[in-house]
Amino acid sequence: MDREIPALMGVSKAILENVIFVHQDESNWPLQDASTLKKKFDDIFSATRYTKALEVIKKLHKEQAQEIKTFRLKLENLQTLKDQAYRLHDNISQDQDKSDALKIQMEELKTNIQGVENKILHTEKSLTDIRRLQGEIKSISSSRSTWIIQQEQQLAALSEENEDTDDELKEWQTKFEERMALLETKISKLERDMNDEDTKNSSLSKAINDLTGEIGRLQAEADAHVLVKHERDSTIRKIFSQHTLGPIPDAPFTDDVAMHLANIIKAKLLNLNNDLQDKKKSNEEHKQFLWGRYLEASTRYSELDGQVLSKVESKKNISGRMEDKESERDAAEKELSKYNLPRIDEKERNLKIEVERKALALKERNYDSIIATKSTEIVNLVQKIKPLQRQKDNINSDSGDRALLDLQKDNLEESKKKLKKIVDEHEDKIRNVLKGRLPSHKDLKKEISQAFGFVDKEYNDLNSKSRDAEQELKLVQMKIHDARSHLSKLRKELDAKRSIMEWKLQTITKISADINMFPKLLKDAMEERDKQKSQFNYAKGMREMYEPFEKVAREHHLCPCCQRAFTPDEEDQFVKKQRSTCASTAERMNMMALGCSSAEDYYQQLNNLHGTYDEHMKLGNDTIPSAEKNLKQLLVDESEKAQTFDDLVSVLAQVKMDRDATHVLLQPIDMIDRHIQKIQELVPAVEDLEYKLDCRGQGVKSLEQIQSELSPLERTRDTLNNEVDDLRDQQKRETEDWNNAQMAWRDIREEKLRALSAVEKFKKAEEDLVFLAEEKEKLTLDEKHLALALGLLSKERESLLQEYEALKERLDQEYDQLAERKRKFEKEIDALETHNGRIKVYLNSKKVEKLSKLQEKHSQLKSDLQKCEAKRKEKEVELNRSKELLQSQDQLKRNIDDNLNYRKTKATVDQLTCEIELLEDKSLSIGSLSTIEADLKQHSREKERLLSEYNRCQGTQSVYESNISKHKLELKQTQYKDIEKRYFNQLLQLKTTEMANKDLDRYYAALDKALMRFHSMKMEEINKIIKELWQQTYRGQDIDYISINSDSEGAGTRSYSYRVVMQTGDAELEMRGRCSAGQKVLASLIIRLALAETFCLNSGILALDEPTTNLDGPNAESLAAALLRIMESRKDQENFQLIVITHDERFAQLIGQRKLAGKYYRVSKDENQHSKIEAQEIFD
């Protein structure tokens, strides 16, 4: 309802409560104290709400300004990131171009390498062909030498060289072969018969040998059986004697006796095992008893130890609590040291007495009654002064015109003097600005304004150009800063690569190496590697030749190099030498392989640095000089732009001087123009006054009598006003002293409470510390007792543990001795069982009968063997006769065969000679071996050079690709993502926020200005209505009219203080405290009516509760007439409604007219004191 009713009635809640519906008790609020009046008017004007709105706008403006700073910082950060992203894109583009160029170069190098490889393949093929031909020539030559040697040997071996043809010799060879074939067939038959006899003899011999071996084996087993039985008897005798098992019979034992004695021994073992188990059980019981006592003592020890630890922990907790309490006590003591309780008590008593004294003094002075009395006297004096003042004004009407004429003439002369003075003071400046001209006074403003407009336009243009030049200079300086940073980064990278290269070179070469030594070191490493490889390949080839040499020497018995035949000793020495050389070569090959591998690793390590070296050289020879060149160009641009900027600044400074010189004249010119206008206004006014006075004459009257009556009254009034003001100031000072004394008394009481609280805290901390110290002492005593008991229990536990360990050691030793005796006995029984088992196995195998059978068979086989030997000797005699016959025929055949072989060998030698000549011709057609090898080396060097160039390009290209990947990876980071969009959005946000903030500033100024203007307009309207209503209503002569003064509490603020003043002639007095009760009621009603007239545009309701209270008859009638006029003027307003609550029937009759209302309502009480409302007709 609090929100709905003001909305439905079209006015604010403040208007409803303070203007429309006001209770009688609160109807005089316009003449209450200043704070109440200010609060009411602030509510009516909604000043607090508008002030809060302005504060909100101001706060929002401040927050937006802070956000603008933040956005600007973010924008600068995004600008930096954007520049970095651009640089990364540029780097990627440059690296990509260089990488593409290197790829093209690598493709060309790959084509060249392929061409060189084709040449190398062709050369290697030619070299392989010529070496193959030389190998074939060498092989055929070696074979030919062998055949020549064989030819010479065959020639030397011939008994006689046959001159027959080859066909004749072959025919002879065929006939001899037929005879020899028959003889050989007979010899073969005899040899087969002998072989059969040998086979039969060998089978018989083998059978005899097998039987002999089997008989020997069985005989050995029989001997072993006897030996085992003897060992069995010895073992039984030894066991019985060692363990005192009783008497035994004489050896040897029969099997039954031995079995009986073994059973006795096994029974003894069973008894030993039972004794051992009993001993073990008894030992465990003794040990378990002592161990239980030790565990019981350990348990008690652990309990006591836990109690000791608990006591220690409690002591630690108590110590911590004591430290906390000491800190609290120290803090309370420190806080207590700030207070002096006796001084505080004394100060409290003194302040209490002072407050009571000041309150009593203020009450005794009774300022309000004295001020009210003097105010009444002042009002009476004002009523006396007003008629005199009117008379004086009437008398001085003509004198006022003359005085006005004199004043106007003085003003005219003064204006002319000021005009001349200003023109004289600024004449030189005006001439300088206008190039020596001095126009008339009327044209000065026009000329100076045109000159200022021209120079101001020129200044603005130059200023704009200067700002642009400054921006360009700053941009170049930023680029220089970036270029210097980039150059510094490149130099640092160059130094880093140099340091890395030198460190790696020092690590690889083990010497102090400079980066400039890298090409030489790499070249030396490559040459050393090639040298090692060449030596290794040479040694490997030599080693591969040694093995074939040995094989040729063994197979052909001649030297593989010179084809000289070897004697057996020479051949052995040659092979021995080859083997020793091969062995030494193998060791040397391993060393050379190791050296070759080391050289290869050394070269590869240096070669891996080639990319870094290329990057270093590129940085030093290409990138850094380019960056330095770019920096120099930027410095030149900076110098040019700085010169341009300096020129603009110097011109701008000159133009600014001219502009300032012209601008200085604007204010004097405005003053000159104002004086000219004033002179133009004063001249007609002076002429009119002179004409008027000339027409009316100079009727001057004396004012001494009126002045003599008026002066004492005014002095008395002024004296009373000063006394009232002094009394009010004195009352205010004493009231402030009383308030200050009360505040000091309250402060000292609060300080006393804080001091007492600190004392309580100190005492409480002291008591807690004493209690905790007692607790700690008690815990210390308990800890000592527990520690003593713990020591005794520890000794008892240690003694029990030692007793247990001793008993355990003794019982374990006894048990081990008994167990060792048992183990020895078991071992002896195992040996006896082994003997018995072997004896039993031998008897079960029946090997005695088998031995006798085999001996009979052996004798039979010996007799068969003697018969076969006799038959073989007969066949052997016949075979020898046939062989002697074959040998005599074979000599002739061998001669024929040797001649045929000699001729065949000679033909082979001739054929090999031809083949060698053909191969030599082919070799000559291919070319010289040294020339082909030289070409091959040249092509290999060219290939290595091209490969090195290719690898260098590949390494450089990989570096560029790595840089591109790295830059792309950097661009994929979150900070560079959508940097353009983020930068644009941030810039848009910054600009929109700045524009919005400027709008807020304009809105703030506009609202502030509008509020102040609204307030002044409304106050003027309210005061106008109040003045009109007062003059229409008030019938007294002491107050001309009343008004509400609104004074600003500070320059440029929207807070006002209000006071109701009454105007009497030229005097203006504050109405509060100086008016009568009727005047107070009337003034309050008029102010409410004025407020309603001003603010109640949408609501025509006004309620007056007992408006005639304290009004005399004339004033009540005047009020009724004013209300009638208001009702008359608003009778056509549909929503107008005047509610009057009054006990004054005369007043009701005055305002109750039929043309304005049909009836009124009377409220009365019946005999039961019940209120009732009756509608009454209004009669004229």
| Per-residue model confidence (pLDDT) at position 9 | 60
Q: What is the DSSP letter of 1143?
A: S
The average pLDDT across 218-235 equals 71
732 neighbors 368 (Cβ within 8 angstroms): no
Q: If you count them, how many residues does the chain have? A: 1180
| Per-residue model confidence (pLDDT) at position 699 | 38
CB count in 10 Å sphere of residue 451: 19
Q: Residue 1179 — pLDDT band, cuts 50, 70, 90?
A: low
Instruction: Say if residue 1122's pLDDT is above 70.
Output: yes
Instruction: Say if residue 703's pLDDT is above 60.
Output: no
Q: Residue 695 — pLDDT band, cuts 50, 70, 90?
A: very low
Using CA atoms, how far apart are residues 984 and 79, in angstroms rounded to an integer? 10
| Per-residue model confidence (pLDDT) at position 847 | 66
The average pLDDT across 913-935 equals 75
* Among 343-352, 386-395, 616-625, the least confident range: 386-395
Q: What is the DSSP letter of 562?
A: T
493 neighbors 963 (Cβ within 8 angstroms): no
Please name the residue that has the structure tokens 């320059």: 1051
CB count in 10 Å sphere of residue 620: 16
| Per-residue model confidence (pLDDT) at position 1125 | 74
Instruction: Say if residue 240's pLDDT is above 60.
Output: yes
Does the model's pTM come out above 0.75?
A: no
What count of Cα atoms within 13 Å lies in the side-chain half-sphere of residue 1052? 1
Q: What is the DSSP letter of 1066?
A: T
H or E element at residue 1042: strand 1041-1048
Using CA atoms, how far apart are residues 104 and 868, in angstroms rounded to an integer? 98
Choice between 983 and 280, residue whose per-residue pLDDT is larger: 983
Using CA atoms, how far apart are residues 707 and 875, in angstroms rounded to an integer? 205
3-class DSSP string for 329-395: HHHHHHHHHCCCHHHHHHHHHHHHHHHHHHHHHHHHHCHHHHHHHHHHHHHHHHHHHHHHHHHHHHH
Tell me what percent of the residues of the chain surpass a pLDDT of 70: 78
Choice between 392 and 729, residue whose per-residue pLDDT is larger: 729
| Per-residue model confidence (pLDDT) at position 402 | 59
Using CA atoms, how far apart are residues 1120 and 1148, in angstroms rounded to an integer? 8
258 neighbors 836 (Cβ within 8 angstroms): yes
Supply 234's token pair.
């010895």
Instruction: Say if residue 380's pLDDT is above 50.
Output: yes
Angle 563-565-569 from CA coordinates, rounded to 5°: 130
The average pLDDT across 677-684 equals 75
Supply 11's token pair.
């006015």
| Per-residue model confidence (pLDDT) at position 696 | 42
Q: Residue 1134 — pLDDT band, cuts 50, 70, 90?
A: low
Please name the residue that has the structure tokens 């003042």: 389
Q: Residue 1135 — pLDDT band, cuts 50, 70, 90?
A: low
| Per-residue model confidence (pLDDT) at position 895 | 66
Highest-pLDDT range among 15-29, 354-368, 545-559, 985-999: 985-999
Residue 561 marked as a ligand binder: no
1041-1048/1056-1064 β-pairing = antiparallel
| Per-residue model confidence (pLDDT) at position 701 | 35
| Per-residue model confidence (pLDDT) at position 954 | 84
Using CA atoms, how far apart are residues 831 and 181, in angstroms rounded to an integer? 74
Instruction: Say if residue 892's pLDDT is above 70.
Output: no
Nearest to 1092 by CA among 1103, 1081, 1083: 1103
Angle 392-394-400 from CA coordinates, rounded to 5°: 85
423 neighbors 439 (Cβ within 8 angstroms): no
Q: Residue 700 — pLDDT band, cuts 50, 70, 90?
A: very low
* Among 222-236, 522-536, 906-920, the least confident range: 222-236
Q: Residue 897 — pLDDT band, cuts 50, 70, 90?
A: low
Q: Residue 1052 — pLDDT band, cuts 50, 70, 90?
A: very low
Question: Could you tell me which residues are beta bridge partners of residue 1139?
Answer: 1103
| Per-residue model confidence (pLDDT) at position 307 | 77
Using CA atoms, how far apart are residues 1110 and 65, in angstroms rounded to an integer? 59
3-state helix, strand, coil in the chain (%, to 5): 85, 5, 10
Choice between 880 and 2, residue whose per-residue pLDDT is larger: 880
Q: 1075: buried, middle or exposed (CB in 10 Å: 19+, 13-18, 0-12)?
A: buried
CB count in 10 Å sphere of residue 784: 12
Question: Could you tell me which residues are beta bridge partners of residue 565?
Answer: 558
| 1103 φ, ψ (degrees, to nearest 5) | -110, 125
Using CA atoms, how far apart are residues 556 and 143, in angstroms rounded to an integer? 11
Distances (CA, A) of 1082 to 86, 1107, 1112, 1122: 82, 8, 10, 11
| Per-residue model confidence (pLDDT) at position 390 | 65
Using CA atoms, how far apart are residues 1094 and 1103, in angstroms rounded to an integer? 16
Tell me what percent of the residues of the chain surpass a pLDDT of 90: 0
Please name the residue that has the structure tokens 């084709």: 118
Q: What is the DSSP letter of 622?
A: I
Q: Residue 170 — pLDDT band, cuts 50, 70, 90?
A: low
Task: Provide the 3-class DSSP secondary structure of residue 576.
Answer: helix
Choice between 420 and 848, residue whose per-residue pLDDT is larger: 420
Q: Where are the beta strands (DSSP E) in 562-695?
A: none
Using CA atoms, how far apart are residues 633 and 835, in angstroms rounded to an integer? 115
Nearest to 1036 by CA among 1090, 1088, 1076: 1076
Distances (CA, A) of 125 to 113, 933, 942, 943: 18, 11, 18, 17
Residue-averaged pLDDT of the chain: 75
Nearest to 477 by CA among 684, 285, 246, 642: 642
Q: Residue 1001 — pLDDT band, cuts 50, 70, 90?
A: confident
Choice between 62 and 263, residue whose per-residue pLDDT is larger: 62
Residue 1096 marked as a ligand binder: no
| Per-residue model confidence (pLDDT) at position 733 | 78
| Per-residue model confidence (pLDDT) at position 607 | 82
Angle 943-948-950 from CA coordinates, rounded to 5°: 90
| Per-residue model confidence (pLDDT) at position 497 | 76
| Per-residue model confidence (pLDDT) at position 59 | 84
* Range list of H helices, 1064-1112: 1077-1095
User: pLDDT tens digit string along 816-832?
Assistant: 777 777 777 777 777 76
CB count in 10 Å sphere of residue 997: 18
Using CA atoms, how far apart are residues 880 and 191, in angstroms rounded to an integer? 10
Q: Residue 672 — pLDDT band, cuts 50, 70, 90?
A: confident
What count of Cα atoms within 13 Å lies in the side-chain half-sphere of residue 162? 21
H or E element at residue 494: helix 441-509
H or E element at residue 1102: strand 1100-1105
Question: Could you tell me which residues are beta bridge partners of residue 1048?
Answer: 1056
Nearest to 602 by CA among 673, 504, 736: 504
